[in-house]
Structure 1
Amino acid sequence: MQLIQTILKYTVMNKMLLLLILGTFGLQAQEVVTADSTGVVKSNDSLMVVKPLAKDSIKPFKRYKAEGVSAVVGEFVILDSDIDKAYVEMKSQGVSIEDVSRCQLMGKLMEDKLYAHQAKQDSIMVPDAEINGMIDQQMQYMISELGSEEKVAEYYRKDNIADLRKDLFEVNKNIKLANLMQQKIIEKLEVTPEETRTFFFSIPEDERPVFGAEIEIAQIVVEPEVTEKAKQDVISKLNQIRADIIDNGASFSTKAVLYSKDPGSASKGGLYTGVKRDSPWAKEFKDTAFSLLEGEISEPFETDFGYHILYVEKIRGQEVDVRHILMFPEVSQESIDKAKTKMEDIRNKIASGEMTFAEAARQFSDDKETRNNGGQLVNPVSFDTKFDLTKMDPTLSAQVYNLTEGELSKVITDRDYTGKSKLKILTVTKKYQEHPADYVKDYERIQKLALREKQIKVINDWQNDKIDETYISINQDYQDCEYAGNWLKKSN
């Protein structure tokens, strides 16, 4: 059906937007830096920091004019090289570019600039401190990959690091403005039950979407006991590191690289920037960060993740930049064996019918997030209890793929992202076979599709309204493109 195709097509292009505009500046390990008409890169080099692409590894495309102006949207300029870079960014993120034309990317870039332009017109503000925090993260990553500030500046064809930071500031700010503007357009949109019903029954029966197979999963987790001696050993190690830094001038950053078990910050010298009081950090972490003066190092303290020492590198108003070293106690083989025996006993009680899986989870599970809900897992993407078998975490999928509904897995030895061992048993509480959309059974999914259609319409209407009142100039090379919006301002 044309309607579903429109939603799916918009979703694909929106994923491109997220990759090109939002995903680039996250805290992921494969962080890259997007540059556009601000001139951060004034050549046709790949922007991949981690692994630049070979020239023959991307789809060839016709060039027009080196650094030629392709379009102007309000106060923003789009260069031909911006489109080239967009192709490289998509390729580096694993997005197929086979069917993506320069015209499509031009339309997407113009949309982005329109959002940013209108955000400024609507006085949407982005705190400089927030942008500087993003830049600090990017700079730390680039320095860790290229070796020094001088090499980073040289790579991006800048005379010095200050010039690069200045350009990155504008890039980041415009990206954030565009994001906030788009959120503002659709933030209050809702769909009523009647709108959902009308949406669904307007789709011909043979064209309704097919929903894939899904399962609901529950777990019981038992963590091996950590002895008091093991705790004291790790605290002593952290105190030794702290003393070496304070008394002998050792580098906190170097110590973090060598000893921290935090995979998200160890390679960056333990650095986290822009920590706020309302950030989703452990309470003990935030309390410690905001109790220290700039340059101070904390005593060892404990969170659910392990034991830390923390160094306050910079205080910027209500935000702090910190470095930390995370360590956790060693778990003995004796503790692991005791946990395994306990888990086998729990499994036997469930299998014999002595107690239900949910009762056992509430009584025995060490996992705080699931035990009170009978061990039921929540999908971190959709925030409901259903997992699409084709999209779930590969490790979890392999552990439950062959289980029938109600069947218990064997005792599994697992490790979390910090490397700590834990034992668990899993069960599939419900299986849903692949099926055509059903209005009653799939109401929530259908409601989301209906809302998505409404958002698309509102965004398209908003775009066309703003296009009419915004100065737009498009180079002759792109005059023959078919755009979703009326960018050429043709009369109907």
Structure 2
Amino acid sequence: MRLNIINLKSTQMNKFFLLLLLSTCMVQAQNVLVPDSTGVVKSNDSLEISTKTFSKDTLKPFKRYKAEGISAVVGEYIILDSDIDKGYLEMQSQGISIEGITRCELLGKLMEDKLYAHQAKQDSLVVADAEINSRIDQQLQYMVSELGSEEKVAQYYRKDNVADLRKELFDANKIIALASQMQQKIIDKLEVTPEEVRSFFYSIPEDERPIFGAEIEVAQIVVEPEISQKAIDDVIARLNAIRADIIDNGASFSTKAVLYSKDPGSASKGGLMTGITRDSPLAKEFMDQTFSLLEGEVSEPFQTEFGWHILYVEKIRGQEVDVRHILLFPDVSQAAIDAAQKKIEDIRSQIVSGEISFADAAHKYSEDKETRNNGGQIINPLTFDTRFDLTKMDPTFGAQVYNLKEGEVSKVITDRDRTGKGMLKILTVTKRYPEHKADYVKDYERIKQLALREKQIKEISKWQDKVIDKTYVHVNEDYQKCDFSANWLKN
């Protein structure tokens, strides 16, 4: 059956189920799914989740539960009634509308996850424990930010302590990771030919072809204030003083990281980074320090593109290493900021007056290595092309370019790059694409992705039918009348 193409005006439910059907490894890294368990959420006024927006037909209030029961069994995995309720809760926590999503549909998704994980074990697929533990650290950090403390998080999930909760999260995340690996294995080698793309597009009735929303392409020129040697010497001295206090006086590296580190991803965790392997996507200098130190050693100050660090090796487990680090930036003088401001204002004046094109100026003056050789053109990190959907842009970035006309140059903007360092930049909209119905020639690459997505969905569906047929599946009588997308009832 042909996939109904979803345009940018589609419902949240459609978006959610498309995500469910194709949860690739990149998507799974962002998931914070709630585990199966035999426990239920404790009724507690201070921890209640609002249910005002929930449909009575799709969800019972989270503060009331019937006695725990089994909804379905897939292979070795059991799905409980509370798992469906928790699924709704997780969707809401991720900002996904649950309006119109039935319990039948959510149970079907949970059964899919268990089927993938079950078959992944049969196929001997392996997920490293360090990868799971790193994901759990992120999940607990998010939960603590929502509820206030680890104790409240454990209480919310009716666990005696955080250790018990971590075990439950580990089991759930293991299932998720195995499921994702299995899905990726199914679709990994699929490709679409130009003829398949053409057939796919012209098989869609003209009045049903997707509507692509308004998009823009943006270029930038970046100038960074010059950092003096004195500022570099000062930051090295600060790191050496912290290091000496740790080594000579027994000060806590973790506490120092919380107090002083400028790394937003690890500072609140005492600088902790777990499960680092030689394949981890980290700066070369950082990796060199990680794998050259012994357990318990603290590095000398060293530099990466992100700033200056000291690093402490907390645990070595075979090929995996847990470390803590402290990141500091050299201070930038007001004189350096003023000089950078003057430089970028002069560049802007040259562009506006027509003395030089924005692209040539970017190539000549921009200090952003990733964009300067491409005329300053910014790549969308979500789609890896140059187009940005105006409705899905980062709010801060979107506000900077939303009112710019095509070819107009922005005022000088003070910003921070991905490493956290301050910078000055100017932006221009190089191309605007108004909302339009899909065009085979102009939108070929996007249509190609939709065609591939349909092919992947068909392949997953074929795989499901085949594996369900040879896997033990039991669905509770409460769900025997569900219209599942897969043949879970084996009719």
Q: TM-score, normalised by structure 2?
A: 0.90
Whole-Å Cα distance in 2 between the matches of residues 132 and 146 of structure 1? 21
Matched-pair contact (CA < 8 Å) for 1:186–1:459: yes
Whole-Å Cα distance in 1 between the matches of residues 23 and 48 of structure 2? 17
Q: How many residues align?
A: 480
Matched-pair contact (CA < 8 Å) for 2:412–2:426: yes
Aligned to 2:49: 54
Alpha-carbon distance, 1:3 to partner = 3.7
Alpha-carbon distance, 1:136 to partner = 5.0
Given the superposition, is the C-alpha separation of residues 147 and 216 from structure 1 closer, same or farther in structure 2, using an over 3 Å criterion? closer
Q: Could you give the per-residue CA deviations for residues 401-422 of structure 1, whole angstroms, max 9, x where no partner exists?
A: 2222222112212233565321
1:72 aligns with 2:73: yes
Given the superposition, is the C-alpha separation of residues 167 and 390 from structure 1 closer, same or farther in structure 2, using an over 3 Å criterion? closer
Given the superposition, is the C-alpha separation of residues 10 and 125 from structure 1 closer, same or farther in structure 2, using an over 3 Å criterion? farther
- One-letter amino acid of the structure 1 residue matched with residue 399 of structure 2: A
Alpha-carbon distance, 1:455 to partner = 0.9
Whole-Å Cα distance in 2 between the matches of residues 147 and 251 of structure 1? 24
Matched-pair contact (CA < 8 Å) for 1:46–1:85: no
Alpha-carbon distance, 1:162 to partner = 4.9
- Mean CA deviation greater in 153-162 or 187-196: 153-162
Given the superposition, is the C-alpha separation of residues 338 and 162 from structure 1 closer, same or farther in structure 2, using an over 3 Å criterion? closer
Matched-pair contact (CA < 8 Å) for 2:235–2:329: yes
1:34 aligns with 2:38: no
1:15 aligns with 2:12: no
- One-letter amino acid of the structure 2 residue matched with residue 34 of structure 1: V
Aligned to 1:364: 365
What percent of counterpart residues are identical?
69
1:290-439 alignment, distance < 5 Å? 290-416=291-417, 419-439=420-440
Whole-Å Cα distance in 1 between the matches of residues 87 and 25 of structure 2? 10
- One-letter amino acid of the structure 1 residue matched with residue 194 of structure 2: P
Matched-pair contact (CA < 8 Å) for 2:306–2:420: no
Aligned to 1:458: 459
SS at match of 2:4: helix
- One-letter amino acid of the structure 1 residue matched with residue 17 of structure 2: M
- Mean CA deviation greater in 53-62 or 284-293: 53-62
1:274 aligns with 2:284: no
Matched-pair contact (CA < 8 Å) for 1:222–1:422: yes
Matched-pair contact (CA < 8 Å) for 1:129–1:316: no
Aligned to 1:212: 213
Structure 2 unaligned regions, length at least 5? none
Given the superposition, is the C-alpha separation of residues 282 and 52 from structure 1 closer, same or farther in structure 2, using an over 3 Å criterion? farther
Aligned to 2:227: 226
Aligned to 1:104: 105
Given the superposition, is the C-alpha separation of residues 413 and 5 from structure 1 closer, same or farther in structure 2, using an over 3 Å criterion? closer
Whole-Å Cα distance in 2 between the matches of residues 400 and 144 of structure 1? 31
Whole-Å Cα distance in 1 between the matches of residues 82 and 353 of structure 2? 67
Matched-pair contact (CA < 8 Å) for 1:20–1:89: no
Among 22, 40, 44, the alignment partner of 2:41 is: 44
1:247 aligns with 2:237: no
Whole-Å Cα distance in 2 between the matches of residues 353 and 305 of structure 1? 35
SS at match of 1:485: coil
Whole-Å Cα distance in 1 between the matches of residues 322 and 94 of structure 2? 29
Alpha-carbon distance, 1:19 to partner = 8.8
Matched-pair contact (CA < 8 Å) for 2:33–2:90: no
Whole-Å Cα distance in 1 between the matches of residues 183 and 358 of structure 2? 44
- One-letter amino acid of the structure 2 residue matched with residue 13 of structure 1: F
Alpha-carbon distance, 1:127 to partner = 2.8
- Mean CA deviation greater in 128-137 or 347-356: 128-137
Alpha-carbon distance, 1:353 to partner = 2.5
Matched-pair contact (CA < 8 Å) for 1:20–1:90: no
Alpha-carbon distance, 1:56 to partner = 3.9
Q: Could you give the per-residue CA deviations for residues 372-414 of structure 1, whole angstroms, max 9, x where no partner exists?
A: 1111111111101111112112222222222222221122122
Whole-Å Cα distance in 2 between the matches of residues 290 and 46 of structure 1? 48
Aligned to 1:119: 120
Whole-Å Cα distance in 1 between the matches of residues 455 and 23 of structure 2? 23
SS at match of 1:241: helix
- Mean CA deviation greater in 161-170 or 71-80: 161-170
Alpha-carbon distance, 1:446 to partner = 0.8
Whole-Å Cα distance in 2 between the matches of residues 21 and 171 of structure 1? 16
Aligned to 2:443: 442
Q: Could you give the per-residue CA deviations for residues 438-458 of structure 1, whole angstroms, max 9, x where no partner exists?
A: 111111111111111111111
Structure 1 unaligned regions, length at least 5? none
Matched-pair contact (CA < 8 Å) for 2:47–2:156: no
1:289 aligns with 2:290: yes
Whole-Å Cα distance in 2 between the matches of residues 422 and 440 of structure 1? 39
Matched-pair contact (CA < 8 Å) for 2:283–2:304: yes
RMSD: 2.8
Whole-Å Cα distance in 2 between the matches of residues 217 and 161 of structure 1? 45
Matched-pair contact (CA < 8 Å) for 1:144–1:267: no
